[in-house]
Every structure is written in structure tokens, then in C-alpha cells.
Structure 1
Amino acid sequence: MEPALTIYNVNDEKSLSSQSSLRKPQLDPLCHILTPIGMLGYGFDEALTHQALQDLKNSNVPTALIIDSGSTDSGPAKLALGIMTSPRGSYERDFTKLLRLANTFHVPLLISSAGGDGSDAHVDEFLDIVREICEKGNNSYKFKTLAIYSNVSKAKVFHGLHAGEVKGCGASVPELTASDIEGAATIVAQMGPEPFVQAMEAEPDFDIIIGGRAYDPSPYVAFCIFQAEKVLAASGKTLTAEQLGGFTHMGKIMECGAICATPKSASAMATVYRDGTFNIKPLNADARCTPSSVAAHTLYEKSRPDILSGPGGNLNLTRSIYTQLPDQRTVRVHGATFQFSRDVDLPYTIKLEAAKMVGHRTIFMGGVRDPILISQMSSFQSRIQEYVITQNTPSSPSSGEFWKLGFHTYGANGIMGALEPGDSTFQPREIFIVGEVLASSQKLATSIAATARVAAAHGAYPGQRGTGGNFAMGVGGKLEVEMGPCAEFCIYHLMPLRVGEEGAKRIGDNRVMSKSDSSTLPLFSWKMSIIGKGDLTVAPEPPVRSSPATALDPPRQNPRPSQPSTLNLTSPLTLTDIAPVIRSKNSGPYEITLDVVFSSLPVYAIIKASSLLTPATLARMYHLHEADIVWCGFFDQAMAWKCTLPRRGDAGERRIAGGFMEADVHASQQYAGLLGLELGEEVRGRIRELGLGGGGE
């Protein structure tokens, strides 16, 4: 189904206001939600959130601080090795600000996916951080704190595997094996909103929720449901698909902070209405939301922009509508719906995540400037491989020893490898090589790396003139750099749940635990604790002062910026001339997604009607078969095109983010080939007519 064209002219305030008022005669606020930063531990400007809460203080509308803390973006090490995304000190810093805000304005604080992976251990570590802050001179603090846990037992996953119920999360994910489960250090499940809602309903006067691994919008959706059910209680009505769709859509945008703004920013605020409509705006006055910037965020990190799968169903955005409000900084959104899977006789599924150790890594690195060697680098690296094999006889399989050697050749194809578009005969002036070794032990990895480095430095090659050495090495005074354990995602799969399993049981609740059929017990669990002394005689804290701008803040500018000045509609040659946003990002550990966003409806219509951005074009550019492409298409609401590809290695093998020889864990540099995509004479001519006629940007 093609989505309706519902982008409104952001400069036509009167028209927008009129359309909005006709469509929504009355909107009753349900709640306000503030997100100071899209990822806990990254730091944020406390003064912005303080001012926003001050402005809302007398609104009599429930308000919450909600922050996501989880992602697979940074790779598998968190799940495999038990580390956190950010250093503990970064979380302590951010929690200090958040607890001060929560205490000053008496608003609840909800945090999901503690520590990045959402493991039980990291939920407990976040609880410890809150305790420590309350004990360090903050005697006035007293927080009723709910902790929700999301670890899943291996026995539960084995049961699903043996029943044939566990499936890969997408076509790029391999089938789950028993060895994957056995090797997993910790298995977590992405909970939906249900555990949050149940904990809130049991303790409605809660102050803090620290959640385990959760679907990113879950705490946002849960807080909205919690507030909406208070309103619906008297009427006996239930939540509609439109309300749940709006709550989920809002959460999907807000969990990234104000990345949906232009320029992208850190802190965002949403006002949610009872019917599911919501407003969204950045807190930083130098940024603004526009209909296209908010709609375009739906593409971000997603395999497709129109139907977004999550726990228990799908968010349908094919009829979503985005309206610029008169302040020119706020966008109003409605039209999304949520389709419960059980309503169409499909099971409620959750995503399981886990990682395992697969060995130890050592790297060596250095540069090559000799054009004679650069011209034959591929064959030279093959000879290095052969030399290392002759010096290190492979052990027998029964010994358990193994090693692998690969090369990242920066300056040629070090980032994209086999997906590198363009002329394969291109020869750079210099290259930087990182040799990567994976082995069964650190000792063996370092030995293999040293042998390969010697071959790189002193190996002979046809036409050689520089016999003193081939390799400019010793960066940082190191010849080999031991990287420690190497982790790899091993579970990224969907598991169906029986009715009731999607919820959470209170730890210690014998009434729940005594159920005869243990297979239908809730999968998740939660507990309550009181943290802090609550000494009201303690003097209030000093006022918050605005902090200086950081790298995450947008540069100072007119809050109503003009369209990008780098576009060229009068003599366009490539995609860069007509599209202000051309980007790539990971969509989970196994996929790479490409987005192109246009800022003119006429230009977008020309590209959509052309054959410029098609599966055939992308397959040819990225050296794939069309059948390999996960999704490719247009999304009218954002005036955008999207294509999702599998991660692949040089030999066509599956690659996994953060694993051996994977060099772009965020996949944020995979778009570069699109920048130079030639438009073709017909497209260029039609766009030139727009530019000359004033119908373009």
C-alpha cells in the first residue's frame, strides 16, 4: 500500500493551523514527556530540562522524565563480557542530574535497558548508583524505586528451539543452534510496555523505574497507557489502535532525544493527547522540528519505514500525518495505528539478544606509500596469508586451537570492503593497513599478528625498489596491540509467548509463583525498594546553571533556518546536488540501511517516478544480488527513499556488527557511494526546469 502524501508546506502557517483545527476540534492533554538525551551516559544540559520542567510546573498534566539506555549499536561486548556502554562515572554524572531534577519537580524518572544491554546485573548496578548518590550528601532524597528484570534462562530458550518456535529476527539472521544458546553469556529479552505498566499499577506512587532490556519505546508507551487507563477507568472503555499507535510512534521518536530536529539536537519534549495525537519539539532554541525532519526519523535505524515490528504487534505508519505548528519549532503527529499480532491469530513475540566469546584479538597497523606495492596490494596480502600458514601449522581440530587473519585496507576499501562501490581499479596515493587476528588464545593471536607484520614489512613483491621495508609502522610505539576477548552476537531471534508471559511477576509474590502451570508464568519480574532517607530538614539544592554548549548541541543559528544552501537545482549532476540528507546506519547487528531524504516535493516526485533508486541500481552499486536486498522503497511522509542490505564480507559471507573483521559497527559510513550517484540526463533536465522555474527548494 502506498502511503498518502501528507507533507504540508512548513511556511504556510495559516493553512496548517486551519487544517489542524479542522482535523482535531479538541485535544485533551494526557501527559508530557521529557527526554534530556537519547542515551543515558552521554551527558546532557541539565538547565534545558530544568527550564522545561519549570514551565510545566503548573500545568496539572502528568509529566515524566524518560531515557533509554540500551542499544546493540556498540557491538556485542556488553552482553558477552558484562561491561556497560558508558563508563560507570558517566552514568553517575547523569544520574546525579536526573535525581536532582526528579526530586526538585516531583516527577517520575523512567530508564530502560540499564547499562546498554539491560541485563539483570546492570539493573542492579544502576540501583547501586542511585543508592550511592542518595548517600553522598543528598539526605533529602527518598525514592520509591521499581526495578524490572529481563534475563531469560537458557532452559526457556532451549524449550523454544526444540519446539521449532524460535526464528531469526529478519532474513539476514541465521538459524539458532544449540551451541549458540550454550555459548551465550547472558540472554535478555526485549520487553514490551506490559511489565512497566504492571509495576506502575501495583505501585502508582513510584518515583523511579529502572528497567532491563526493553523495546526502546516501551517505557514511553507504558507511561502513556498508565495515564490513559486512569481516564478510561470511569467509562469502561479500552484503548484504541489509534491511541496505542500514537503512543508507540511518539516513543519511537523520543527515545532518540531530539535527533528528529534540524539541526539534530539532544533534548526533546513530547505532549501526548488522549486520542494518541502528540506534539514534539527540541528543548534547544537553536533547533526546530519540521514535518519532514520528524517523518524522516521513522527511517532511522529501521529496516523499513512504514511497518515497524515490536513486541506483540506492528506499528503502522502508512497513514501518519505531520503538521507544523505556528511556533515553527513544534510538529503535531497523528494517524499511526498499532496492530496486535494476537488479533490476527499470530503469537506475541519478543526479541532475544545474546553474545558469546569467540576468541581473542590482536591487531597490527601501519601505512604504505609505495605506488608499486599499492597497485598489487591484494596479491601481496594473499602472500602474507600464505607465509603465516607456513610458519604456523594449523593444530588438529581436537586441540581446540584456531586462528584467522584479515586485513582492513583504509584508503581503498577499509570501511566497506566487498560493498565498496565505484571503480575497483582505483589506486590511492597511500593506504593504512590494520591486520586483524582472531585466535583461540591471546598468546596465539599475538604470535600470528607478529608473524604477519614481519611479512608485511619485509616481504618481496614484483618490481620492488624500496628494499629497506614496506610498512610504516609503530603507531603509538606499538608493533602489536592486544585487543583482548572478541565477542560476537549469537542470539538475535524472535520467540513466541503464551498469553500472560509478556507481563512481569513481583519478586516474592507467592500467589503468582504458586500457579500450577509454570509455563505461563510471566517471563519478566520486578521488585520495589525505598532508596534514600527523605530528611526534609536538609537545605534545598542550589539552582541549576546553564552549562556551556557541547558537541551534541546544534550550532547557534536562526531558529527558522533556510533550506540547505549546498543544493544545486540549476545544474545538478549527482544525488548530492538534490538531497540534503544521504545517510546510512545499522538496523540491528545483521543489516545496513540507507536513507535519502529530499526537501522538495517536486524533486521527490521526479526521483520516485524515475528508475534512479531501484533494487537493481543498489544491487549493482553494492555488488549484491537483487534477491539479497531486504527492503527497498519510498516513504512519502518523509519525502524519502530507503534501502536495507545485509552485512557481507569480501567472500559474500555474513558479517555481524562488532565481530571479527567488521569495521563499521554503526554502519554510519556505508552511504558514501550514493553521494556520487549520477542522475542521468532525463532526471537532470526535469530538475533543472524546477530550479529555473522557482518550483524547487
Structure 2
Amino acid sequence: MDKIKVLSPTAILGYGFPVESFERGLDRKPDVIAVDGGSTDPGPYYLGSGLSFTDRNAVKRDLHLMIEAGQKLNIPVLVGTAGGSGASAHLNWCLDIVKEIINEEGFKLKIATIGAEIDREEVKNRLREGKLSPLYPAEEVNEEEIDRATRIVGQMGIEPIIEALKGGADLILAGRAYDPTVFAAYPILKGFERGLALHMGKILECASIAADPGSGSDCMLGILGQDHFILEPLNPERRCTVTSVSAHTLYEKSNPYKLYGPGGVIDLTETEFEQIDERRVKVTGSKFIPDEDYTIKLEGAKLVGYRTISIAGTRDPIMIRQIDDILKEVKRIVNESFSEDREKYNIYFRVYGKNGVMGKLEPVQEITAHELGIVIEVIADTQKRANSICSFTRSTLLHYGYPGRVATAGNLAFPYSPSDIKAGEVYEFNLHHLVQVDDPLEYFPVRFMTEDTIPEDGRLT
């Protein structure tokens, strides 16, 4: 086998892709179809709550097309970070969708699921053994903080996925996985260079985002040879360029020459990009350097409270000129009114048109906007308290008598009724750590099943 073709339909399962692009990819006779199913980008809520940030119907649509194509071409279909965050609840959710597709279409599949959720007691054992270390900007963690995590997942490398492939799986649903692994595992199993395979996977996990114009909802084909790989977008309106591909190589990296992952690092110091025609780019020179100790990244999320928000706007230039002083005084009034509960809530203001995006990092200090959008956010220990504090803050700001005010009515415009939105549970990441392991497979159990042996309720755990 002198080359392997990997088809990446979309940047995240559920983001969709044009059927025409997908069919062009299938016409190229790929050896594997792979897709990344999740990310930490949408924040800690989804890991903490066990819910997916992608829509079920959208995921089902994408999966149905992929499974059908895999059956037609007799090639494996791989999904990484199933359900968005890759914990057991997310994996179960994705398996339930697969079961529904199978029941509707009558597909005959050998399915492999790979768990990635890790018990808190095991993480505490690793801490006691001195095998847990923080990843910047995280700090050292203690056992109490580990216990606060509602869910903890490990980011698997290629090894569990290779085990599933060796077992003859037609469809692999992996829990939390290092993004490039579902694209790189099959080529590495077949003997291709690990650094090139992982680098190609790093590009393919975002599908056509690495093209010009870029899109996370369109297909990309990767062709891996013995000493290079080639990237080709499958929509004729897009093209890969040296700039688009090399720029995407820098995506989500703190070091332009090193890409760290489970078990080692992709060394890009000798990587070269070549434009081989108008729409394709060839990449050479990427290498994999194994670590002395095999480590995987842990991700954990904890519940920190409950959120209520209110969205408002103002077009009063008098108010806009002194908005910082007004918000500071409104917060003082609220805190004084609820002094007995002061440790049980926090108030945040996000001012769009001033520094709503960058916050304290915003370099432009002068307000030039003719109107401002103001988001009042309260996080409290209970939803009831968050509701109360947000309501009081909103009404205080609405009728606050700032210097120079002309109007006697409210000074805010509310686009929604009710004006206060109960947003529910709030989570934050509390584990962003490396754990040293003796075996890359030890936290990632591979389980095989067929369409007839999927648990009746679709549940693995």
C-alpha cells in the first residue's frame, strides 16, 4: 500500500456538509472516513452537564450519510470525541443515534466504542503517586478539587483506536480523543509515518477550514504517501494554498514548531509546504518524537453556580459617556442591598460597543459607539438567588439617576420579554492536567458489539 486516502466530511460531526462534496470524496475511493465529534471550544458546560453542544438531528443526518458510505465502500468510519465532550453520557448519546439509524436502515455493523471517562478515585490515586501535573495556565490540584468535578475525561491517543481497527470494527465511536487521532490511526496501523499521519490529521480534523475560502461545513481529502501528504478540498469553489494550510498548522498551538499530544510531539522544524497545482498542497518533513513517559491530558468540569442574564441597550450619549461609573455605582447599590448574601453571588456587566469582546484586554479605551449593548449576568449559589439579584440589578440600572440625565422614564431598551433569562447551571474547567500512564490503553476500554447486541436502552454504562 503506497498511499492512503482519508475523507473528512466536516469540522465537527453535526456541522453538516454538502452532499455533492461528500460524493466527490467517495468517488475518489477513500480508505477511511473520519470525523471529529467535539471540542472544548464551546466551554465547560457540556462536559459538566453531560449534554452535547451539537443538535441531535444534525448529528444523525451526518452519521447516516457516513455510515451508508462506509457500508457501500466497505471501509471503516471513525468518530472521535463522540457527543461533543467524549464522556460516557456523550458516548451513550451518540450510540443511541447509531442504533436509531441501524433500526431504520437495516445496516449490518460491527461497532466499537471506546470509553474515555475516568473515575475520580483513580485520578486521586495518580495524584498521590505524583503522576499528575498541571498544564498552563492550570494550577496544582488537590483531592477536594478532583471530587468537585462532575465528569473527568482523558484525551486518548491512537492506540485505543488502532485496537478497535484491529478488531475489525466497521464503525468506531471514541470518547474524548486527541483531535488528529481518528484520521491518523488507520494510516499508522498500515505502517505510515506517524508524524506525517498526525500532522495530516491535525489539518483534516477541521475539514475545509484549511482551504480558501475556508469552511468548517465542507469536505477535505487527505492523501498520505510514504514521505508526504496532499490536501485537496472537495468543493471546486475552494482551494488549498501554502498560506491556508501552513496557517492552519499554527492553529491552537503555543509553539509554531511543536505540536504536543498523547505520547509525544509532532516536530515541524523541517516541514515544508508546496503548491503542486491550483487547488492542492503537498506537505513533507513532519516527524514524531516520542516522549520518555507517556502522558494523556485530563479534562474535568465542576458546577460553580446558576446563571441569570438580562440583555439591554442604551442610546443615550449622556449615559454612554459615563457608563463605567454608572455600572460601578449600580453594583455598589446592589451589593449593599444584599449584603447578607454577598458571598453567594457575583455580578458581571458585558458592554458591547465598548469592551464586550476583549474586556480588560481591550486596547481602545475611548467609546465611539452611538449605542451600547449591556449584558447583565449574575451567577449565584441557587437559581432563585441568581434570579433575584439579576432582577434587582436590572431595575436599578434601568432607573438609575446619573448626572445630566434628562429622561424621567427608564434609560434602557430591552429586546426581550421577559427581560430576565434563567440560564441554569454554570460549570468551569477545574482539571487541565497531564497524567502519566503505564499503558496508553488503560483508561480507554474498547467494547465491540453488533447491531443485534447494542444495549436495549443504548447505554454502555
Residue in structure 1 matched with residue 244 of structure 2 by the alignment? 293
1:139-178 Cα shifts (integer Å, max 9, x gaps):
2x201111111111111211222233322222x2222233
Please give the TM-score of this superposition, normalised by the length of structure 1: 0.63
Check conservation: 2:352, 2:373, Cα contact below 8 A.
yes
Asked if structure 1 preserves the Cα contact closer than 8 Å seen for 2:85 and 2:176, the reply is yes
Whether 2:207 is the aligned partner of 1:257: answer yes
Alignment pair present for 1:494 and 2:446: no
Distance in 2 (alpha carbons) for counterparts of 1:291 and 1:469: 55
- Given that 1:36 and 1:46 are in contact with CA atoms closer than 8 Å, whether structure 2 keeps it comes out as no
1:117 is aligned, of 55, 72, 85, to: 85
Query: Given that residues 157 and 178 in structure 2 are in contact (C-alpha distance below 8 angstroms), is that contact kept between their aligned partners in structure 1?
Result: yes
Aligned to 1:315: 266
Q: Shift in Å at residue 489 of structure 1? A: 0.9
**C-alpha contact 2:353 2:367 (8 A) present in aligned 1:** no
Matches within 5 A, 1:303-452: 303-326=254-277, 328-342=278-292, 347-395=293-341, 402-422=344-364, 424-452=365-393
Residue of structure 2 equivalent to 1:74: 42
Deviation at 1:63, TM superposition (A): 0.4
Deviation at 1:48, TM superposition (A): 2.1
- How far apart, CA to CA, are the structure 1 residues paired with 2:321 and 2:128? 52
Tell me which residue corresponds to 2:159: 194
Percent sequence identity over aligned pairs? 36
CA shift digits 1:314-355 (9 cap, x unpaired): 1111110111113x211111101111011xxxx211100111
* Paired residues of 1:375 and 1:427 also in contact (CA < 8 A): no
- Say which SS state the counterpart of residue 339 (structure 2) adopts: coil
Structure 2 counterpart of 1:179, from 144, 153, 161:
144
Separation (CA, whole Å) in 2 of partners of 1:177 and 1:376: 44
Letter in 2 for 1:263: P
Alignment of 1:102 onto 2:52: no
Q: What whole-Å deviation, never above 9, does each CA across 1:59-102 have from its counterpart, x for those lacking one?
A: xxx70000010200111111111101212222111111112111
Q: Supply the distance in 2 between the matched residues of 1:425 and 1:92 (Cα, whole angstroms).
A: 48
**Partner letter of residue 406 of structure 2?**
R
CA distance in 1, matches of 2:325, 2:208: 47
Q: What SS does structure 2 have at the residue aligned with 1:29?
A: coil
Among 383, 399, 409, the residue aligned to 1:458: 399
Cα distance in 2 between the residues matched to 1:316 and 1:188: 26
Please give the per-residue CA displacement for 1:260-279, whole angstroms capped at 9, x wherever unaligned.
1111132100111134x111
Asked if 1:212 is matched to 2:175, the reply is yes
Distance in 2 between residues matched to 1:184 and 1:149, nearest whole Å: 18
Contact 1:363 1:481 (8 Å CA) reproduced? yes
Question: Where does residue 483 of structure 1 map in the other structure?
Answer: 423
Determine helix, strand or coil for the equivalent of 2:138: coil
1:276-291 equivalence runs, <5 A = 277-291=228-242
Aligned-partner SS, 1:225:
helix
Tell me the SS of whatever aligns to 2:39.
coil
Contact 1:135–1:532, Cα closer than 8 Å, also in 2:
no
Corresponding residue for residue 25 of structure 2: 52
Measured against aligned partners, the alpha-carbon deviations of 1:353-397 in whole angstroms (never above 9, x if no partner) come to 11111110111121122222211111111111111112212348x
Instruction: Provide the C-alpha distance between the structure 1 equivalents of 2:205 and 2:382, rounded to a whole number of angstroms.
Output: 39
Compared CA separation, residues 110 and 477, structure 1 to 2 (3 A): same
Counterpart-to-counterpart distance in 2, 1:253 and 1:113: 16
Contact 1:41–1:94 (CA under 8 A) maintained in structure 2:
yes
Measured after TM superposition, the shift of residue 52 of structure 1 is: 2.4
* CA displacement 1:392-415 (0-9 Å, x = unmatched): 12348xxxx701101001111111
Letter in 2 for 1:312: G
Q: Structure 1 residues 523, 107: CA separation in 2 closer, same or farther (over 3 Å shift)?
A: same
**Stretches of structure 2 lacking an aligned partner (at least 5 in a row):** 454-461
Which whole-Å CA distance do the structure 1 matches of 2:20 and 2:440 have between them? 38
Q: Is the 8 A contact 2:110 2:448 kept in 1?
A: yes
For 1:464 and 1:54, locate their aligned partners in 2 and report how far apart those are by CA, in whole Å. 68
C-alpha distance in 2 between matches for 1:391 and 1:438? 17
Contact 2:196-2:287 within 8 A present in 1 as well: yes
In structure 2, C-alpha distance between the alignment counterparts of 1:375 and 1:163, rounded to whole Å: 57
Tell whether the 8 Å contact from 1:35 to 1:66 is kept in structure 2 after alignment.
yes
Question: Matched residues in 1 for 2:368 and 2:62: separation?
Answer: 47
1-side partners of 2:170 and 2:452: how far apart?
12
Separation in 2, partners of 1:120, 1:363: 31
Distance in structure 2 (CA, Å) of the matches to 1:217 and 1:63: 16
**Cα distance between partner residues in 1 of 2:128 and 2:65:** 47
In structure 1, distance between residues paired with 2:313 and 2:28: 56
Query: 1:85-124, CA deviations, whole angstroms, 9 ceiling, x for partnerless residues?
Result: 2122221111111121112221210111000111122222
Structure 2 Cα separation of the partners of residues 351 and 393 of structure 1: 41
Distance 2:316 2:25 in 1: 58
Aligned-partner SS, 1:476: coil
The SS at the match of 1:381 is helix
Of residues 27, 33, 40, the one that matches 2:6 is 33
Give the Cα–Cα distance (whole angstroms) in 2 for the partners of residues 126 and 453 of structure 1. 40
**CA RMSD, aligned part only?**
1.7
The answer to whether the Cα contact below 8 Å between 2:67 and 2:171 also exists between their aligned partners in 1 is no
Deviation, structure 1 residue 258 = 1.4
Q: Is the 8 A contact 1:30 1:227 kept in 2?
A: no
Does the 8 A contact of 2:13 with 2:59 survive in 1?
yes
Select 1:528's aligned residue among 448, 451, 456: 448
Q: Secondary structure at the match of 1:502?
A: coil
Residues 401-439 of structure 1: per-residue CA shift (max 9 Å, x gap)? 7011010011111111101012x2334321111110000
Q: 1:149 aligns with which of 74, 97, 115?
A: 115
**Number of aligned positions between the proteins:** 451
**Higher Cα Rg, which structure:** 1
The CA deviation string for residues 577-602 of structure 1, in whole angstroms up to 9 with x for no partner, is xxxxxxxxxxxxxxxxxxxxxxxxxx
Q: Which protein, 1 or 2, shows the higher relative CO under an 8 Å CA cutoff with sep ≥ 6? A: 2
SS in 2 for 1:104: helix
Q: In the alignment, is the contact (CA less than 8 A) between 1:406 and 1:435 conserved in 2?
A: yes
Structure 1 Cα separation of the partners of residues 240 and 184 of structure 2: 21
TM-fit CA distance, 1:532: 6.1
Q: Summarize deviations over 1:26-81 as a string: whole Å, max 9, x none.
A: xx63311001111101111223222322232xxxxx70000010200111111111
Q: Distance in 1 between matches of 2:93 and 2:81?
A: 12
Query: Following superposition of structure 1 onto structure 2, how do residues 232-247 of structure 1 map, counting pairs within 5 Å?
Result: 243-247=193-197
Is 41-50 or 376-385 further displaced after alignment?
41-50
CA–CA separation in structure 1 for the residues paired with 2:435 and 2:68? 39
CA contact (8 A) 1:134 1:532 kept: no
Pick aligned residue for 1:91 from 59, 79, 82: 59
Structure 1 Cα separation of the partners of residues 334 and 212 of structure 2: 51
What TM-score do the two structures reach when normalised by structure 2?
A: 0.94
Q: What does residue 188 of structure 2 align with? A: 225
Partner SS state of residue 374, structure 2: strand
